[in-house]
Structure 1
Amino acid sequence: MHVVKVTKAKLDKQVDWRSVCPVSSALDILGDKWSLLIIRDLLTKGPRTYSDFLESDEHISTNILADRLHLLTCLNLIERSDAEGIARNNAYKLTKSGEALKPTLFELAKWSQDNLKAYNPDIEDIV
């Protein structure tokens, strides 16, 4: 596994901590679309490579993907296994902290189905 050691000072350069509120702090990390979609894919599809993420229906750009993977790794939500040979074969998987987001994402998906289907009738059912 690839472990990224990061200091609080270095992380603070990457994350704009807006307040001490726990909801706000969580949203500073998870409040953008891409971080949650990376975590969703890891929860629903298991370990994924960089290329796997690029092939998702949402079409994340390479620079945003690299940034979010680095951030989520620094925060110990995901970890990277170093495959021998080509770097693009490295697989990312959730850590215990990342797995702990499963009930939160499930509830968010359920809320979306219950409250947004009238506006987006194509929303998929929860698996």
Structure 2
Amino acid sequence: MRSYGQLCSIARALDVVGDRWTLLIVRELLILGPSRFGEIQRGLPGIATNLLTQRLRDLEANGVVIREPAPSATGAPIYRLTERGMALDGVLRELLKWGAPTVPQAPPEAIFQMHWLSQPARFLLKDHRPSEPAAIIRFGTLDDGFDLTAAKGTVAVRPCASDTKPNVGVIGPGPVLVALLQGAIPLELALTNGVRIDGDASALTRVLPPAPDSINVPGQYN
């Protein structure tokens, strides 16, 4: 990793996390929690195995990631964020907010994985009916998704758990789901553009932001 060689906290931070793929590795570990190499790689389509290995080594050397022995003799080592690594959550939140307006202009061939939506969901969705019993909304599947729990005025996200019984399941195209979570389109319009729900729809509407009175979203949502 090359250094900028500047006595500046921004430059020093970029010395550690400024290389290509590095912050996306942090994103995966923030979403998934402690993970094996292969689990991290699945969330980074396009990264070469040797490059991911090097980036993890660099993060470990800089105290951002720790590599723990496999829980069993035949298992793979586990990577997890250190306290310093977890502190990057706020950095990624600001990048998420800064980058959100550019999502509708992403190229049509852009790859989408449902679990990536868990970070914006954590910040964009609210529990609008806190007096009601807790509700669980599953976005995606056990293989690629997340569970969002609305309870007592708060929302929490975590990777899908096989022993969890969601109140409603949600799947659909990435751009449409992003627009739905941002409040750019109402649920009714999302349903006509490929979003599918299975279960109690009111659990989903409980957390969605209010859609605008007039819809002016370009392209496929007109």
Per the TM alignment, residue 17 of structure 1 is displaced from its structure 2 partner at its CA by 3.9
Give the alignment's Cα RMSD to 1 decimal. 2.2
**Which of 85, 92, 99 pairs up with 2:73?**
85
Greater gyration radius: 2
2:194 is aligned to none
Give 1:1-127 correspondences, 5 Å limit.
14-83=1-70, 84-86=72-74, 89-114=76-101, 116-120=102-106, 126-127=120-121
| Contact 2:27-2:92 within 8 A present in 1 as well | yes
Structure number with greater CO (CA < 8 Å, separation at least 6) is 1
2:29 and 2:40 in contact (8 A); partners too: no
* Aligned-pair identity (%): 32
Aligned residues: 112
Segments of 4+ in structure 1 off by > 3 A?
Answer: 121-125
Distance 1:119 1:18, change over 3 A: farther
User: Which whole-Å deviations, capped at 9, do the CAs of 1:13-58 have from their partners, x for residues lacking one?
Assistant: x442431111111112211231101100000111111111222243
The separation in 1 between residues aligned to 2:103 and 2:21, in whole angstroms, is 22
TM-score, normalised via structure 1 length: 0.76
Question: Counterpart amino acid of 2:73?
Answer: G
Whether the 8 Å contact between 1:35 and 1:68 is mirrored in structure 2 is: yes
Per residue, is there more strand in 1 or in 2? 2
Q: What one-letter code is carried by the residue in structure 1 that aligns with 2:31?
A: T
For structure 1, list consecutive stretches of 5 or more residues without a partner in the other structure.
Answer: 1-13
The offset of 1:59, in angstroms, is 2.4
Residues in 2 aligned to 1:72 and 1:39: alpha-carbon distance in whole angstroms? 9
Instruction: Give the superposition deviation at 1:81.
Output: 1.1
**Bigger proportion of residues as helix:** 1
Query: For the residues of structure 2 that align with 1:31 and 1:21, how far apart are their CA atoms?
Result: 14
**TM-score, length of structure 2 as denominator length:** 0.46
